[in-house]
Amino acid sequence: MNVHVAATAGPNSASVTSVPILIIGCGFGGIALAIALKKAGITGFSILERASDVGGVWRDNSYPGAACDVVSRLYSFSYDQDYEWSTAFAPRDEIFAYIQRCVARHGIREHVRFDCEVTRAAFDARRGTWMIETGRGERFETPILISAVGLFNNPTIPDLPGRDQFKGVQFHSARWDHEYALAGKTVAVIGTGASAVQFVPRVAREVSKLYLFQRSPQYVMPKTLFPGTGEWDKWLQQYPRLRRLARLKIFFMFERFIWRRKYRPQLRLAGEAAFRKLLENKIQDPELRRKLTPNYPMGCKRQLVSDEWYDALVRPNVEVVDDPIAQIDADGIVTKDGAHRRVDAIIYGTGFRPTAFLTPMQITGLEGRDLNEAWRNGAEAYLGLTVNGFPNFFMMYGPNTNAITSIIYMLECQSRYIVRAIGLLQRKGARYMNVRADVQRSFNEEAQARLAQTVPARPDCITYFKDANGRITTQWPGYALEYRIRTHAPRAGDYEFV
């Protein structure tokens, strides 16, 4: 395999285009891997991106108030720290601009084929290559296939009765309708997750009435409680040479969060007490405070961050509705208590399907093995990177690689591992490498045993961290630093080489 050979054939050619390395997706994951490849002197790769621009979730999520809920100095590449973030939690437009700058700085765009959505990929064991097909009929062949599609790329809208009968405007927050003027309208927002926490305060200022339909309340804490927001942090940001130190400081403070959760569980109770005190100060109405008080332990769901959320919910034009939705009709929403609320528009802040890894792609490995079938009891991989029976196939942001830190840090670890795995395959002179079944099984048994001791594993905890079977498939069980150590380089003994 010569990883320096460029791809041939045009984007509309009916013939097969041979590419030494093929990456699916050009969000942060695909970009991180592309940069790592180029730093290793590997330039013969292509990125297939289903949209017309780079950026992944930061391209798609342009709703009002969209911002990072991880401190920006950590939510950025370790080798591109000269960016002037305006705040600790950067808004979406700044993050998107940062991505564009990284793509330009490292010469990534020339490797990207846009509007090119992969529908299926199948492995040919005899030749040691993957055959890839796209939605517009293109065919590619590559010995190395990497999925960098991420977790938050498939918006989910609940299948509520009558949804198709609604005559007003409706859209998901990840597909925001910027042409629709919200000013003066009566609007329903369904969902109170991470996106809603950001856009509801902005929407509430514009509309005449906002109904917020809540399935379960959230723990929402102010930004000032999080690492990277103190006065010393602000001072460090003023000096470019100290920004790496600022990033390191933030990283270890996040690691301390993990330590506290693991070894000092009483701090969870202290955190819940602090939240209740915050809620008492912010929400004077006892009935509204009841609605907004979670009935599950802190740590069960993703921790949300906002300085505006509770201020928005006490506005006179905002009503929090916690009665379940019975149906949607032509002009509004009916709850199970029989109340009908007329609305002009419905905005779904109902998140994504993070446990539906790689969907809707069809991935076929050795002996016709289907990846969706292999994952019927829950997605799993070795270190979240490789799956037995699917040789020369790697994943960025695969199963059990989300952590209480910045995903950018995890992506850098994964890109380093994949580049070194490609080098190992070359040195072995093999057609393909396949992670051993016992190695994958041992790792996942360990991960699930450790995760079983965490709050999200509790049976009363309903969270996107789990799949339909109750298996935690998204979260890393330990420290982020541990992940870096374990993914430092692939061990030849973990793989079968053919």
What number is the average pLDDT over the span 209-216?
Answer: 97
Which of the two residues, 326 and 454, has the higher pLDDT score? 326
Rounded Cα–Cα distance for residues 65 and 92 (Å):
8
DSSP conformation class of 46: E
Residue 325 lies in a domain: yes
DSSP conformation class of 466: B
Rounded Cα–Cα distance for residues 484 and 469 (Å):
29
- The verdict on 466 and 335 lying in the same domain is no
- The verdict on 172 and 317 lying in the same domain is yes
Distances (CA, A) of 329 to 159, 161, 172: 13, 8, 18
- The verdict on 413 and 485 lying in the same domain is yes
Residue ranges making up the domain that contains 309: 163-218+265-348
Overall number of domains in the chain? 2
- The verdict on 315 and 443 lying in the same domain is no
Rounded Cα–Cα distance for residues 182 and 298 (Å):
34
- The verdict on 467 and 400 lying in the same domain is yes
Q: In sequence order, what DSSP letters do the residues of 80-108 get, joined into one string?
A: ------SSSS-BHHHHHHHHHHHHHHTT-
- The verdict on 430 and 329 lying in the same domain is no
Residue 343 lies in a domain: yes
Residue 92 lies in a domain: no
Q: Which of 70-74, 107-111, 346-350, 437-441 has the lowest mean pLDDT?
A: 70-74
- The verdict on 287 and 400 lying in the same domain is no
State the average pLDDT for the chain. Answer: 91
Say yes or no to pLDDT of 36 above 60: yes
Model pTM score:
0.92
Residue 11 lies in a domain: no
Tell which of 348, 379, 413 closes a domain: 348
Residue 102 lies in a domain: no
- The verdict on 492 and 388 lying in the same domain is yes
Q: Is 169 left (phi over 0), alpha (psi -120 to 50) or beta?
A: beta
Q: Which of 103-107, 244-248, 346-350 has the lowest mean pLDDT?
A: 244-248
Tell which of 348, 370, 390 closes a domain: 348
CB 64 within 8 A of CB 197: no
Say yes or no to pLDDT of 261 above 70: no
What local confidence, expressed as pLDDT, does residue 403 receive?
Answer: 86
Tell which of 302, 317, 348 closes a domain: 348
Residue 90 lies in a domain: no
What CATH code is carried by the domain that includes residue 167? 3.50.50.60
Say yes or no to pLDDT of 42 above 70: yes
Rounded Cα–Cα distance for residues 314 and 204 (Å):
10
- The verdict on 167 and 299 lying in the same domain is yes
Place of tokens 């798609």: 60
- The verdict on 294 and 368 lying in the same domain is no
Angle at 84 between CA 81 and CA 89, to 5 degrees: 90
- The verdict on 338 and 362 lying in the same domain is no
- The verdict on 493 and 390 lying in the same domain is yes
**Three-state secondary structure call for residue 226:** coil
In the sheet with 362-364, reading across from the earlier edge strand, the strands are 16-18, 139-142, 129-134, 118-124, 362-364
Residue 26 lies in a domain: yes
In the sheet with 325-329, reading across from the earlier edge strand, the strands are 325-329, 332-335, 340-342
Say yes or no to pLDDT of 25 above 80: yes
